Amino acid sequence: MDILDLMKKEMFRRKLSPRTIKTYLFYVRKFLLFCKKKPKQFSKKDCRLFLEKFMGKGVSGSSINVALNSLRFMMEEVLRKSMRLNIRYSKTPKSLSSFLSRNEIKRLVSVITNNKHKLIVLLMYGSGLRVSEVVNLKSEDIDFESNIGWVRHGKGNKDRPFILPFCLIDSIKDIVSCHSGYLFNGRNGKLSVKSVQEIVNNAAKKAKIDKNVHPHMLRHSFATHLLEAGNDVTAVQSLLGHNEARTTMTYLHIAKPKLITIKSPLDEIYT
């Protein structure tokens, strides 16, 4: 029995994201090196021993959680065995997401001289796109009539719409009119994630922004600035593609200085 092949087929059948498939297979391979039994002989005890050894290496709480989920999927969904381990999920410390101010966004963009590179950065901030989403955009994903774009097979293998900033529409139309396929071409058909990371990193250095600037920070800034402007959390949640509102709510902590200016209804009664 090729347990890895069976897992891969089952995950493809359930349309799990390529990243999840790759990660689950990575941890199960580690387990197979640890446990020398045949798959039919795998037990909860084997999984527990592996996780205990794994936890003893000082790995992060999030990695332990993923390893546990990987083994649970193998045992329950592929081998059809019980996997009710009495192991608590490791808590991963929550930290507030960093973001750029509106002034820092302007500074970042102003130092980029390549028009295509500038458009990529503006689109990530203006639409809240992940770097993997912007490099995978295709001409057919843009709906100018409705003024939206579509992320295809994004995180969680989901499709979702995103807003097109009015100020970028003409530039995007110029690209679409010139070629089909990927919106931002690279040497191998599309621009790589690494290339975009370098574009943002270099621009941050030129703009002398004293923060660890990375592409995802543009998405954080998009969410924070929308909430600061008073937009509804559920609307922002939809634009970001979050499954749960509590994920979007984390940005409220960042936007708190703006929120504390809101008056309590009690003050309306007694003042």
Helix and strand numbers (H, E) in the chain are 14, 3
Distance, CA of 132 to CA of 63 (rounded, Å):
22
Phi, psi (deg, nearest 5) at residue 210 = -85, 60
Catalytic residue among 155, 206, 214, 258: 155
Q: Is 210 exposed, middle or buried (0-12, 13-18, 19+ CB in 10 A)?
A: exposed
Catalytic residue among 81, 152, 190, 216: 216
Asked if 187 is an active-site residue, the reply is no
Distance, CA of 131 to CA of 218 (rounded, Å):
9
CA distances from 69 to 25, 33, 66, 265 (A): 11, 18, 5, 45
Distance, CA of 138 to CA of 141 (rounded, Å):
5
Of 196, 18, 64, the residue nearest 124 (C-alpha)? 196
Asked if 118 is an active-site residue, the reply is no
Catalytic residue among 130, 160, 220, 225: 130
Strand partners for 143: 148
Asked if 219 is an active-site residue, the reply is yes
CA 168-171-173 angle, 5° bins: 105
Asked if 216 is an active-site residue, the reply is yes
Asked if 251 is an active-site residue, the reply is yes
Sequence-ordered strand ranges (E) for the chain? 142-143, 148-151, 160-163
Asked if 225 is an active-site residue, the reply is no
Where in the sequence numbering do the catalytic residues fall?
A: 130, 155, 216, 219, 242, 251
